[in-house]
Structure 1
Amino acid sequence: MNQQVANRLNSVAVSAYKFMGSVLLALILLGLMSFLAVQGFFLASSSWVTPTILSPTDPNVLALNAQAAQQESERDGLMARRREASDRLQEAERTVATERSFQQRFVVALKGEKRSRDRLAKRLSALRQEYLRAGGEIAESNRAYSGLARTRTNALYGAKLMEREDVLTANHHLAQMAQSNLSLAQETVDLDMRLDTLRRESEGLTAAENGLGRDDAPEGLTTDTLLLEREYTQSVLAMARAEAQRKSLEADVHALDDRIRRFDQLLQVVHGSPYLKALEQNLTVAFVPYENLANARAGTPLYTCALKILWCREVGVVGPVLEGEVSQQHPIRQYHLRGVMVELQLRDAPSAREPLLHLGHPPLML
């Protein structure tokens, strides 16, 4: 009796062991088939995306926001430098225009001064000739009159026909006539000096006009015209410095414009990133590898499935593609994929927490 019970218990134990072994083998086979099915799906399918919920406190969002703020600060610094360089460039251009105008006016004024000196010299020369002619006649008449008056006075005084006082008066008049002859000679000398000064000034102005911008020293320069030429030379040097500064500042402005343009392009890319769009509110997006992008056009239906590929239902549609490339790890494999982010318009909010969503149709519905 005991032997029969023992045999029965052994038979039950063996049956249970065989059943458990079969169940375990079936589970192992089921797991292996599921693994192979999932691997085969990802190997052949290009119709899946991985959803992500971006929040304002996401580390990537905060890091990108800090980077954008830093780049905007650097761009503002470049803009300030550009405005400063532009102001200095305008000042250099005004200096060049002012000095060029001064040089043109200087040449015109120099020619005008020379013409004025020449006209005055001609008038003085004509006056000198007239003065010499009249002075010669006056001097000749004075000499003739003086000789005749002196002879007559001496004769009358010798004949006791003229008093001593009258003789002295006559001699005084003759002395005044001699003084007038000296005054005429002095005036002639003054005219000669003034005429010589005008001629030297005219020659100096001509020499200065012909020597502007040249290294040699033309004949006829005077100290006054040399000082005038120095003012012109200083204007030329100031204009050359302003020209050199203008060219340098133009190059600086162009270089700053290029750097600002590159910053603008970079900031445009950064502000187009989905991470910055999540600063204001939570944003549901999905990573789409480049090989899946053709199937992720706007309006494409989205499906979520149990066990990744079974029991699927529609949960929303694909929204617009967000600019900028991103890199993300493969949902089941240990390598990163390159792709883009797309906005998701989900009717079922919890589906945003799924590891992946399918594009267009359930994965087993071809």
Structure 2
Amino acid sequence: MNLRVANRINAVAVSAYKLMGSVFLGLILLALLSFLAVQGFFLLSRSWVTPTVVSPTDPQILNLNAQLAAQTSARDHVAAERRAVEDRIHDARRIVTAERSFQRRFQVALSGEREAKGRAAHRLSSLRQEYKRANEEILQSNRAFAGLSRERTDALVGARLMAQEEKLTVNHHLAQLAQSNLTLAHTTVDLETRMDALRREIAGLAAVQGGLGQEGAPDGMTSDVLLLERNYTHSMLEQARAEATVKSLFVDLEALDAATERYEALIDTLRASPYLRAFEKNLTVAFVPYDNVANAAVGTPLFACALKVFWCHEVGVVGSLLEGEVTLKHPIRQHMLRGVMVEVKLNDTTTAREDLLHLGRPPLLF
């Protein structure tokens, strides 16, 4: 009796063990078949996309925003430097214009001064000739009058017809005539001195006018005219320095323009990133590998499945393609895929959390 019960229990245990082994084997086979089916699906299928939720805290968005801010700041700094260089160019050009105007006015003033001094010298020369003739006449008249007065006075004194006091008066008049002759001589010397000074000034102005900006000291140069030439030379040096500064600043300006263009191109590239465009426009997007792009036309239906490929239902349609390449990890494998982003229009926003959506139709037709 006991043996029969034991045999029965053993038979039940063996049957249960076989049943459990069969169940586990079936489950393993089912899992293996599911794994192979999924792997085969992704190996052969060209009609799947991966929804992507773009949020402000997404590492891609944070990195792109940081890069965009840095490049924008650098571009603005270059733009500020460019404005400063432009201001310096305008300032240097104003200096060049002012110095050129000064040099033209200096030439005009120098020519006018020379002409004025020439006219003064001519008038002084004419006055000197008239004064010389009048001086000679006055001197001859004074000498004749003085000689005649002395002879007449001596004769009257000798004849006791003139008192001593009258003789002294006559001698005093003769002394005044002599003083007048000395005054005439002094005036003659002053005229000669002024004529000589005018000639030297005219010669100096002519020498400077003909040799402005040239090396060497021309004949006839005076200290006053030399100081004038120094002002002119200083103006020419300032003009040359300003012109050299303008040329150098234009080179800097070209370099800054080139740097601005590079920053603008980089900023445009960052702004064209599909992630950033999707974030800025508040779009729902999906990643499409390059192999699947041909099946992701605008308006293509999208399906979500309960077990990746089973029990599927339509959840939306494909929208417009976003330019620019992106990379994303494969849904079931560890390698990275290259592809593009497309806008998707979903019936339910929770569908964006799905790992996988199918293009066109369910993968297994149900």
What TM-score range do you get, normalising by the shorter chain?
A: 0.7 to 0.9
CA–CA distance in 2 between the matches of 1:172 and 1:136?
Answer: 22
Counterparts of 1:297 and 1:195, CA distance in 2 = 104
Aligned length: 365
Quote the RMSD (CA, aligned, Å): 3.1
CA contact (8 A) 1:55 1:281 kept: no
Instruction: Verify the 8 A CA contact 1:321 1:341 in the aligned structure 2.
Output: yes
Provide the residue aligned with 2:340 in structure 1: 340
C-alpha deviation, 1:310, in angstroms: 3.8
Shift of 1:267: 2.7
What's the counterpart of residue 208 of structure 1?
A: 208
Correspondence 1:271-286 to 2 at 5 A:
271-276=271-276, 283-286=283-286
Return the alpha-carbon distance in structure 1 between the equivalents of residues 294 and 134 of structure 2. 115
1:210 alignment partner AA: G
Query: 3-state DSSP class of the match of 1:54?
Result: coil
CA shift at 1:200, angstroms? 0.9
Q: Conserved in 2, the CA contact under 8 Å of 1:303 and 1:316?
A: yes
Q: Measure the CA separation in 2 of the matches of 1:290 and 1:105.
A: 75
Aligned residue for 2:197? Answer: 197
C-alpha displacement of 1:332: 2.4
How has the CA–CA distance of structure 1 residues 152 and 300 changed in structure 2, closer, same or farther, with 3 Å as cutoff?
farther
Task: Give the structure 2 partner of residue 288 of structure 1.
Answer: 288
CA contact (8 A) 1:55 1:282 kept: no
Normalised by the length of structure 1, the TM-score is 0.86
Letter in 2 for 1:213: G
Q: Do the aligned partners of residues 357 and 199 (structure 1) sit closer, same or farther apart at CA in structure 2, a change above 3 Å counting?
A: same
Whole-Å separation in 2 of the counterparts to 1:53 and 1:224 = 86
The reply on whether 1:354 has 2:354 as its aligned counterpart is yes
Contact 1:269/1:323 (8 A) holds in 2: no
CA pair 86-15 structure 1, distance change in 2 beyond 3 A:
same
Instruction: Specify the alignment match of 2:259 in structure 1.
Output: 259
Between stretches 153-162 and 20-29, larger displacement belongs to: 20-29
The answer to whether the Cα contact below 8 Å between 1:56 and 1:278 also exists between their aligned partners in 2 is no
Q: Sequence identity, in percent?
A: 63
Quote how far apart the aligned CAs of 1:20 are.
6.1
Q: After superposition, what is the alpha-carbon deviation per residue over 1:88-107, rounded to whole angstroms, capped at 9, x for unaligned? A: 23222222222222222222
Q: Distance in 2 between matches of 1:355 and 1:47?
A: 14
Cα distance in 1 between the residues matched to 2:293 and 2:217: 81
Q: Give 1:132 deviation, angstroms.
A: 1.2
Q: Distance in 2 between matches of 1:116 and 1:178?
A: 37
Q: Which moved more, 1:276-285 or 1:175-184?
A: 276-285
Q: 1:47 Cα shift?
A: 3.0
1:43 aligned counterpart, secondary structure: helix
Q: In the alignment, residue 151 of structure 1 is paired with which amino acid? A: E
* Alignment match, 2:65: 65
What pairs up with 1:117-266 in 2 under 5 angstroms?
117-266=117-266
1:61 Cα shift? 2.6
Which secondary structure state, in structure 1, belongs to the residue aligned with residue 46 of structure 2?
coil
Q: Deviations over 1:306-328 (max 9, x none)?
A: 43334433211223333443221
Distance 2:291 2:126 in 1: 104
SS at match of 2:53: strand
Contact kept, 8 Å, 1:208 with 1:229, in 2: the verdict is: yes
Given residue 64 of structure 2, which amino acid in structure 1 is its aligned partner? L
Q: Please give the TM-score of this superposition, normalised by the length of structure 2.
A: 0.86
Distance in 2 between the 1:51 and 1:14 partners? Answer: 50
State the 1:22 CA deviation: 6.2
Question: Relative to structure 1, is the Cα distance of residues 295 and 324 closer, same or farther in structure 2, using a 3 angstrom cutoff?
Answer: same
Structure 1, residues 152-193: CA drift from partner, whole Å, max 9, x if none? 222222222222222222222222222222222211211111
Give, in whole Å, the separation in 1 of the partners of 2:294 and 2:241: 61
Deviations 1:267-300 (A, max 9, x none): 3333444544576797532122334334434433
SS of alignment partner, residue 219 of structure 1: coil
Distance in 2 (CA, whole Å) between partners of 1:67 and 1:2 is 84
